[in-house]
Amino acid sequence: ALNKALHDTFAIAQNSRSSWESTATIYQRFTQNADRLGLSQDRVAKITETVSKAVAISGASTEGANAAMMQFGQSLASGVLRGEEFKSVNEQTPAVLDAIAKGLGVARADLKAMADEGKLTTDVLIPALEKAGVSVDELFGRTDMTIGQSFTFLNNEILKFVGVAGDSSGAATLTASSIKLLGENIELVAILGRESPSF
């Protein structure tokens, strides 16, 4: 189960151009409710992916997206989305609330009142996000990767490589040297990228 969780969260993070750490936090929060709500590991992964893609659609900065995902994770831990957590998600990643509203079949403007009344509980949020999954996938498919997201993608790959290989193999030194080489040759890489988009 742990190996699957690591694999799933990494794949979700890369597919949604999100931080692996914040993706894993959301995944963990959903997992904490899995038994009570009868959620399989695959369903937890799918809901996590929907949230991560909605965050990406919002166009928030990397820092803003990570902050909002952490706040959303805290709301899942407490069992209800409201207060500062709702405010952070609303300001930084509005597409998450759009997805929730679509899944609930209510106007986006109604969510604030629902949050104030404590109605956006985990039991409500999870089915709503599942219903909105297809819509979020379609919207995400129309977006292009930003420079910030590309650095997040790279950082996730580095974390995976160094984490799996371990410092004893010299992975950290090799990675640092490779990043330095990339920085020193960024113009060449850009030229190659223009000439061969699949490079």
23-43 pLDDT tens trace: 998 899 888 888 888 889 999
Amino acid, res. 145? M
Most confident of 1-5, 79-83, 160-164, 191-195: 79-83
Closest among 28, 109, 26, 37 to 73, alpha carbons compared: 26
CA angle 103, 108, 114 (to 5 degrees): 85
Six-digit token string for 128: 């709503």
Rounded to two decimals, what is the model's pTM? 0.80
Higher pLDDT, 177 or 66: 66
Distant-in-sequence, close-in-space partners of 100: CB < 8 Å, separation ≥ 6: 111, 120, 125, 128, 129, 132
Residue % of the chain over a pLDDT of 70? 81
CA angle 149, 154, 158 (to 5 degrees): 145
Q: Do residues 28 and 48 make contact, with C-beta atoms less than 8 angstroms apart?
A: no
Q: What is the pLDDT of residues 60-92, one digit of tens each?
A: 887 888 888 888 888 888 899 999 999 999 999
| Cα–Cα distance, 189 to 30 (Å, whole number) | 40
**In Å, how far are 20, 54, 61, 66 from 6, measured between CA atoms?**
10, 21, 25, 19
Buried b (16+ CB within 10 A) or exposed e, 85-102: bbebbbebbbbbbbbbbb
